[in-house]
């Protein structure tokens, strides 16, 4: 790659999602760039990666890595104090130009630039009045590959065209692709772009089946984010699809997140374990283990060698820590991945229903139905806990294109690493990018008895079947993975959205700074019925306290009442409800009474990208009784 430098207004957390490796972002000059592979993320002067290390044992075990790294921040050598040795100077995130095809705003002639030409706006070489604008289309396949649209092949209707004349991208006026065509100035070939983002009658891509009559155009296998390396292409037999470069389905980041869980361990144990997970010490331990030394022998060596650093602990705690690290390092069986998200959430749920007080998780009881008689009993709530402090770690382990929501497994984790790294098997690449957020939240658990009684209602089941039938069809089409979707899940998910929409007016956070976490399962061994609303504003530690105070009963009850009252009616009703019931709304039509005017949140705040929402399950449908869980509550 070139040494060209450009500025992109991105937070470090945004390099995990939504602008991680392989994603398209925009620099200060309005040029679209793609984030490069992880191999070159940490290359600079006086490099010390230890300050970027994040440890989260649960996630590391699931994803099979040693640790995670916070994306590097850029530090100039300018401003260096006299005698000071600054670390991690000039560490830059690799970026490549994409799309590489441009057209002139004045003469309409097209030009293809080098992928390392990222530094400034582009001038047209064919005329003196125009500047270059990137084309709006890209080509992707379901294996994660991405490439430029084959303009030369398309206009000549030939997979191997002999003509290589200058092209023009012309619009005859209008907002649709019907009005756009590409022309060759050499042989006068011309072809419309009508329907290139659509599918043919046989459900195949038009680019795949109609570029040249009687032949198929297959994916080029291009991994553009690899740069100019020869490994940037691989054989691929998938059919390619044409998408607008800013479409949501160009890039689906695979994110796994986990809240910090306290163990039944002393502070000294936690400090000992933290010291042993330091990169240098951990590498030393690995060498001892490969030399067949026992944990007893290793603990003696460590306490003698690092006596000054380990003054707060003893040999028994070191031995216990070594055993704990060994357990965490054990490989997860393939069968465990089928319910890995459920298992991780159940561990979090089990912690949130209890009180805790340590440096990374503080949970305080506000309400318990078992020992309180309060008007909030009418809302079917079992417990309310104020989470004064929590730690959320989010990790990027791969990405998808065209279709998202891939189930996590050993194979998808392996494939994800191969997409993120050019050399995924190298010993220096046993890490993944992630970031940690310290925040606050409100946890609400609902009564299992009242939810079960409500779900058994025939009217509720008939209404929910509208959504369930659509979801089953989406599953059969292979668009989404199978998961447990129940009336209580949709109801609690919608309630979380309604509460967040109300809380932003009083808590001091924006809606994009809040996040939901839905804990719902009817598994006999992992029963859960709760929601967590928490701050998710990246790149900051500590809390403002504005959210957790809203969990106090005197504040939460009025918020609940207002939210439920507003959820009875949308400014787009009766259209919002009627369309939802008749044909569905939102992504894949998997919403009923829910739209931008009533229930949607920023996609970064929602677990399901604004799917599986229905206000009807909160307060019912006009003219029908018994559907809404909160119908009997007086607002």
What is the tens place of the pLDDT at every residue in 545-565?
789 999 999 999 999 999 999
> Three-state DSSP class for 603?
helix
Residue 442: band (very low, low, confident or very high) from pLDDT cuts 50, 70, 90: very high
CB 288 within 8 A of CB 276: no
517 and 595 co-located in one domain: yes
For 487, counting Cβ atoms within 10 Å of its Cβ (0-12 exposed, 13-18 middle, 19+ buried), the class is: buried
Q: Tell me if 588 sits within 8 A of 611, measured CB to CB.
A: yes
Average pLDDT of the residues of the chain: 87
- With a cut of 80, say whether residue 334 has pLDDT above it: no
Residues 240 and 267 in one domain: no
What average pLDDT does this structure show over 23-37? Answer: 91
* Structural domain contains residue 351: no
Are both 587 and 500 inside the same structural domain?
yes
pLDDT of residue 603: 81
Answer with the one of 212, 246, 280 that is the final residue of a domain.
246
In this structure, what DSSP letter does residue 572 have? T
Instruction: Specify whether 90 is located in the same domain as 105.
Output: no
| pLDDT tens digits along 521-531 | 998 888 999 99
- For residues 569-575, average pLDDT: 91
Digit-coded pLDDT (tens) for 242-261: 999 998 889 999 999 999 88
Number of domain units in the chain: 4
Q: Would you call the peptide bond into 574 cis, given omega within 30 degrees of 0 as the criterion?
A: yes
Whether residues 563 and 547 share a domain: the answer is: yes
Same domain (yes/no): 408, 512:
yes
Residue 573 is assigned to a structural domain of this protein: yes
Q: Which helix (H) or strand (E) holds 328?
A: helix 315-329
What would the pLDDT profile of 167-182 be if each residue is shown by its tens digit?
999 987 776 777 899 9
Q: Are residues 167 and 213 in the same domain?
A: yes
Cβ burial 440-465 (10 Å sphere, 16+ → b, else e):
bbbbbbbbeebbeebbeeeebeebbe
Q: What is the pLDDT of residue 542?
A: 44
For residues 133 and 173, what is the distance between their CA atoms, to the nearest angstrom? 17
Ranking 548-557, 603-612, 621-630 by mean pLDDT, the lowest is 621-630
Q: Is residue 344 part of a domain?
A: no
Range of the domain at 374: 360-619
Window from 40-54, 549-563, 568-582, 609-623 with minimum mean pLDDT? 40-54
Are 428 and 560 found together in one domain?
Answer: yes
Q: Which of 62-66, 117-121, 444-448, 614-618 has the lowest mean pLDDT?
A: 117-121
**262 three-class SS:** coil
Mean pLDDT of 575-581: 93
Please give the backbone phi and psi of residue 441, each rounded to the nearest 5 degrees, phi first: -165, 180
Q: Does pTM surpass 0.85?
A: no
Same domain, 113 and 80: no
pLDDT at site 2: 45
Query: What pLDDT is attached to residue 86?
Result: 73
Do 111 and 90 belong together in one domain?
no
DSSP state of 45: B
What is the SS3 string spanning 346-397? HHHHHHHCCCEECCCCEEEEEEEHHHCCCHHHHHCEEEEEEEEEEEEEEEEE
Summarize the confidence of residues 57-72 as an average pLDDT.
89
Which of the listed residues 41, 70, 96 is the one where a domain comes to its end?
96
Angle at 534 between CA 635 and CA 74, to 5 degrees: 145
The pLDDT, as a whole number, for residue 1 is 41
pLDDT, tens digit (0-9, with 9 covering 90-100), for 365-423: 999 988 777 778 889 999 999 999 999 999 999 999 988 777 888 899 999 999 999 88
Residue 252 lies in a domain: no
Q: What is the pLDDT of residue 335?
A: 65
**147 in any annotated domain:** yes
Domain assignment present for residue 413? The answer is yes
pLDDT in tens, 110-169: 999 988 887 677 889 899 888 999 999 999 999 999 999 999 999 999 999 999 899 999
Cα 137 from chain centroid (whole Å): 23
- Same domain? 116 vs 39: no
Does residue 628 form part of some domain?
A: no
Per-residue pLDDT at 541 exceeds 50: no
**Whether residue 197 has pLDDT greater than 50:** yes
Q: What is the mean pLDDT of residues 459-463?
A: 94
Q: Judge whether 116 and 4 are in contact, CB under 8 Å.
A: yes
418 in the same domain as 567: yes
Give the integer Cα–Cα distance in Å for 39 and 420: 8
- Residue 256, domain member (yes or no): no
């Amino acid at each position: 790659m070139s040494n060209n430098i450009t500025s992109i207004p991105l937070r470090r957390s945004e390099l995990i999602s939504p602008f991680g490796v392989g994603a398209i972002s925009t620099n200060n000059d309005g040029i679209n760039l793609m984030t490069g592979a992880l191999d070159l993320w940490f290359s600079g002067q006086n490099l010390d990666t230890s300050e970027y290390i994040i440890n989260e044992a649960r996630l590391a075990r699931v994803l099979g890595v040693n640790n995670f790294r916070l994306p590097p921040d850029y530090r100039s050598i300018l401003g260096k104090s006299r005698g000071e040795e600054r670390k991690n100077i000039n560490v830059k995130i690799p970026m490549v130009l994409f799309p590489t095809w441009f057209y002139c705003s004045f003469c309409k002639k097209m030009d293809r630039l080098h992928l390392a030409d990222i530094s400034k706006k582009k001038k047209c070489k064919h005329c003196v009045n125009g500047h270059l604008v990137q084309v709006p289309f890209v080509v992707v396949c379901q294996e994660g590959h991405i490439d430029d649209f084959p303009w030369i092949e398309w206009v000549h209707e030939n997979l191997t065209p002999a003509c290589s004349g200058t092209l023009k991208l012309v619009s005859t006026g209008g907002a649709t692709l019907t009005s756009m065509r590409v022309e060759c100035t050499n042989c006068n070939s011309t072809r419309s772009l009508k329907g290139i983002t659509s599918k043919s009658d046989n459900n195949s891509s038009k680019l795949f089946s109609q570029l040249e009559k009687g032949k198929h155009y297959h994916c080029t296998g291009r991994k553009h984010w690899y740069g100019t390396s020869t490994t940037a292409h691989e054989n691929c037999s998938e059919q390619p699809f044409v998408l607008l470069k800013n479409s949501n389905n160009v890039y689906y980041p695979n994110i796994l997140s986990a809240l910090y869980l306290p163990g039944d361990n002393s502070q000294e144990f936690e400090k000992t374990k933290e010291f042993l997970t330091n990169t240098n010490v951990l590498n030393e331990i690995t060498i001892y283990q490969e030399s067949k030394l026992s944990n007893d022998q290793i603990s003696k060596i460590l306490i003698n060698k690092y006596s000054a650093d380990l003054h707060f602990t003893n040999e028994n705690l070191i031995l216990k820590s070594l055993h704990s690290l060994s357990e965490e390092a054990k490989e997860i069986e393939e069968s465990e991945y089928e319910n890995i998200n459920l298992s991780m959430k159940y561990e979090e749920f089990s912690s949130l229903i209890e009180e805790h007080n340590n440096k990374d998780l503080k949970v305080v009881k506000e309400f318990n139905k078992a020992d309180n008689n309060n008007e909030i009993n009418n809302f079917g709530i079992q417990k309310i806990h104020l989470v004064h402090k929590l730690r959320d770690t989010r990790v990027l382990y791969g990405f998808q294109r065209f279709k998202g929501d891939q189930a996590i497994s050993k194979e998808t984790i392996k494939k994800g690493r191969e997409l993120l790294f050019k050399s995924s098997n190298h010993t220096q690449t046993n890490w993944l990018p992630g970031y940690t957020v310290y925040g606050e939240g409100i946890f609400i658990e609902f009564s299992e008895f009242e939810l079960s009684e409500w779900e058994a209602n025939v009217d509720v089941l008939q209404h929910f079947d509208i959504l369930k039938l659509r979801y089953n069809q989406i599953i059969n089409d292979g668009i989404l993975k199978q998961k447990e979707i129940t009336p209580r899940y949709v109801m609690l998910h919608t309630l979380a959205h309604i509460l967040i929409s109300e809380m932003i007016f009083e808590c001091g956070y924006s809606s994009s700074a809040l996040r939901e976490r839905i804990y719902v399962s009817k598994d006999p061994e992992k029963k859960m019925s709760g929601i967590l609303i928490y701050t998710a504003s990246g790149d900051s530690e500590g809390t403002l306290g504005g959210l957790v105070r809203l969990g106090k009963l005197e504040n939460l009850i009025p918020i609940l009442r207002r939210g439920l009252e507003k959820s009875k009616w949308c400014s787009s009703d009766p259209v919002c409800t009627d369309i939802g019931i008749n044909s569905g709304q939102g992504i894949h039509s998997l919403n009923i009474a829910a739209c931008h005017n009533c229930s949607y949140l920023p996609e970064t705040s929602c677990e399901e990208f604004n799917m599986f929402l229905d206000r009807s399950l909160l307060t019912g449908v006009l003219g029908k009784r018994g559907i809404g869980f909160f119908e009997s509550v007086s607002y």
